């Protein structure tokens, strides 16, 4: 039987200009899905460009290559395979007041 785990990485967290979720150690997992929810509350942006980042130590980060572009409130999944020990999602808000409230859940299977 495969292991399965869901973690709430950010819960209704306000972001201004840039986004960087808390890092999560998940080296045991074989696949991951970020579920990013842009809350209706205080959403004032035209575009949210996100990219998955990986790390060997949870301190130094590099882009993994998977991206997502979000243009308003709602739920967006981002699937990842072949990653190292740590994951996070980061990006930039553009347009409007560059403000958003996000919830980020990370679902892992191994």
65: containing domain = 4-109
Q: How many whole angstroms separate alpha carbon 89 and alpha carbon 79? A: 11
Tens of pLDDT along 9-61? 999 999 999 999 999 999 999 999 999 999 998 899 999 999 999 999 999 99
Task: Please tell me the distance from the alpha carbon of residue 32 to that of residue 16, in angstroms, as a whole number.
Answer: 26
Count of CA atoms in the C-beta half-sphere (13 A) of 27: 6
| Residues 44, 15, 74, 59, CA torsion sign | positive
| Chain segment 63-76, per-residue pLDDT in tens | 999 999 999 999 99
Q: DSSP states of 81-92 as a string?
A: ES--SEEEEEEE
- Contacting residues for 28 by C-beta, under 8 A, at least 6 apart: 3, 108, 110
Residue 42 belongs to a domain with what CATH number?
2.60.120.380
Query: What is the number of structural domains in the chain?
Result: 1
């Amino acid at each position: 039987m495969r292991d399965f785990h869901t973690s709430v990485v950010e819960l209704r967290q306000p972001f201004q200009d840039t986004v960087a979720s808390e890092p999560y150690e998940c080296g045991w997992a074989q696949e991951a899905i970020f579920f990013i929810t842009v809350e209706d509350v205080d959403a004032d942006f035209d575009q949210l460009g996100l990219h998955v980042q990986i790390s060997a130590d949870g301190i130094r980060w590099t882009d993994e290559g998977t991206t997502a572009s979000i243009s308003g409130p709602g739920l967006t999944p981002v699937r990842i395979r072949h990653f190292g020990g740590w994951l996070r999602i980061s990006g930039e808000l553009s347009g409007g007041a560059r403000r958003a409230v996000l919830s980020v859940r990370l679902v892992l299977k191994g």
